[in-house]
């Protein structure tokens, strides 16, 4: 079983739509979680950290549910520039466990 599981998508949504991605992790000892964004043929870039209390950054909201061991990312009012692959990450003892990524395409 993979440490982090994500729906690979693709998600194709119209501009202005709200889209949500979920990610599950298997190691209950993981303490820190992040969402990264990766554009085609580029390196992953940190999008936001995920806190137990939930956190918001503009149109992006991240939530953590420890009881169910899942992480979510909500994007409101999608822009064309949001098209990318979104990777969730659970921090282990010696590793950052990455999901395989969810591909999002925002359509005009």
Nearer to other proteins, 12 or 32 (CB): 32
Cα-to-chain-centroid distance, residue 56 = 13
Contacts of 82 (CB under 8 A, 6+ apart): 75, 104, 106
Stretch that binds other proteins, among 19-27, 62-70, 75-83, 87-95 (CB under 8 A): 87-95
Nearer to other proteins, 45 or 66 (CB): 45
Q: Applying CB under 8 A, does 91 fall inside the site for other proteins?
A: yes
Q: Is residue 81 helix, strand or coil?
A: helix
Which one among 32, 59, 65, 80 touches other proteins, defined by CB under 8 A? 32
């Amino acid at each position: 079983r993979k440490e982090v599981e994500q729906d690979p998508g693709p998600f194709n949504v119209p501009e202005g739509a709200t889209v949500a991605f979920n990610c599950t992790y298997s190691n209950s000892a993981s303490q820190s979680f992040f969402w990264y964004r990766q554009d085609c043929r580029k390196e992953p870039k940190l999008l936001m950290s995920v806190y137990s209390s939930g956190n918001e950054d503009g149109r992006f909201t991240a939530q953590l549910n420890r009881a169910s061991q899942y992480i979510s990312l909500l994007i409101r009012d999608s822009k064309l520039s949001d098209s990318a692959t979104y990777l969730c990450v659970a921090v282990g003892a010696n590793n950052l466990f990455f999901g395989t990524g969810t591909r999002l395409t925002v359509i005009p």
